[in-house]
Amino acid sequence: MPRVVVFDQTGGPEVLRIVDEPVVEPAAGEVRVRIEAFAVNPLDQLVRAGRSPRPVRLPHARLGVEGTGVIDALGPDVAGPAVGDPVLLSALPDFETRGAYADYTTVPADRVVPRPAGLSVAGAAALWVAYFTAYGALVEKAGMRPGDHVLITAASGGVGRAAIQIANQIGAVPIAVTRHSAKRESLLAAGAAAVIATDREDVAESTRRHTGGVGADIVLDAVLGPGLADLSLAARLGGTLSAVGWLDPRPASFPANPSLTLHRYMAFADMVDPKVTGRVAAFLTAGVRTGVLRPAVDRVFRLDDVVEAHRHLDRGSPAGKIVVTT
């Protein structure tokens, strides 16, 4: 019988358990997807630990906001997708009831997009949320253009590495920020034009050095917290800061650069907009086809080892996405 990962209380990875559940038939306008792999995201970690941005009903809650698989059944009144199509799950706002941590899930037909050819299953599972977030924050909100200097915090993570590649695809100049000097070479290999390691360098001073004394046109920040004021000084006058995460749970300081335009970008709000989803899907498909966009996978686990996958995320600093295959 198909497996589903559920949890009845919040806490550490050990609250996750695998149960058997019958396959659900898709309703009108829905498709059923046989999941081949899903990514373990920081949002999953927050929800599991009881720090969800919104309430989650317990017991028997599910996890998983992205995954990839093959359509294996269509509900009535579905036009477009076909049985056998390889797809990405493009939006699961109701992940607690039909999340991707499972062998099968049913979703509205407009919540899947074609899987770009040329990706492994693990690579496809690592693509959508990170690259959608980076694209949305940099292009849709900040208006990134060729030649822009883009400062990327938490650059070793999934969104950070996606942002480096997307900046290169646009023709911008990605400057990666990491806490550890040991990650410098891997970030340069990932496409960063320069790397600032905060264990040895000051971010604002180093950014000005890499930008001819001007500062970054765009700052992509996944950290927030008290360091936001100092980070804002790395941007040029009239620059833009797009905040996409909350890796530091402490209150964010007020930006010290008064001319900065601020965006708080939440990708899941855009994922339910068909026009934005279509633009992102077209951009990612083109980037995968040309080889510029290459999802970074830190480690792959099997579904039976989903608890260990969450323990690996809890240990911190994965070099790319953590993926679980079914």
Residue 67 domain-assigned (yes or no): yes
Give the tens place of pLDDT for each residue, 187-214. Answer: 999 999 999 999 999 999 999 999 999 9
Query: Which domain CATH number covers 240?
Result: 3.40.50.720
Distances (CA, A) of 96 to 27, 53, 73, 76, 283: 18, 13, 22, 24, 29
Same domain for 262 and 177: yes
HSE, CB side, 13 Å, CA atoms: give it for residue 255: 24
Same domain for 310 and 239: no
Same domain for 262 and 151: yes
Cis, peptide link before residue 59, omega less than 30° from 0: yes
- Percent of the chain whose predicted confidence (pLDDT) is above 90: 84
Total count of residues recorded for the chain: 326
Rg of the chain over all Cα atoms, to the nearest angstrom = 20
- Cβ contact 68:87 at 8 Å: yes
- Cβ contact 292:169 at 8 Å: yes
Same domain for 262 and 140: yes
- Cβ contact 170:139 at 8 Å: yes
The residues that bridge with 71 in the sheet, in sequence order, are 33
Q: Which two tokens stand for residue 15?
A: 């609250």
Say how many domains are in the chain: 2
pLDDT of residue 255: 84
Residue 315 domain-assigned (yes or no): yes
Residue 77 domain-assigned (yes or no): yes
Same domain for 304 and 245: no
Same domain for 106 and 146: no
Residue 278 domain-assigned (yes or no): no
Residue 279 domain-assigned (yes or no): no
pLDDT band at 20 (very low <50, low <70, confident <90, very high): very high
Residue 56 domain-assigned (yes or no): yes
Domain carrying residue 37 = 3-127+295-325
pLDDT of residue 269: 87
DSSP state of 302: E
Same domain for 312 and 223: no
Same domain for 89 and 9: yes
What distance in Å separates the CA atoms of residue 253 and residue 256, rounded to the nearest whole number? 9
Same domain for 115 and 143: no
Give the tens place of pLDDT for each residue, 221-234. Answer: 998 888 888 999 99
Token pair 């650059």: residue = 155
- Choose the final residue of a domain: 268, 284, 312: 268
Same domain for 227 and 113: no
pLDDT of residue 248: 79
Residue 28 domain-assigned (yes or no): yes
What distance in Å separates the CA atoms of residue 234 and residue 217, rounded to the nearest whole number? 9
Same domain for 140 and 264: yes
pLDDT band at 268 (very low <50, low <70, confident <90, very high): confident
Query: Which domain CATH number covers 39?
Result: 3.90.180.10
Q: Which two tokens stand for residue 283?
A: 């951009």
Token pair 């601020």: residue = 262
Same domain for 48 and 169: no
The rounded Cα 83 to chain-centroid distance in angstroms is 27
Residue 192 domain-assigned (yes or no): yes
For residue 153, pLDDT beyond 90: yes
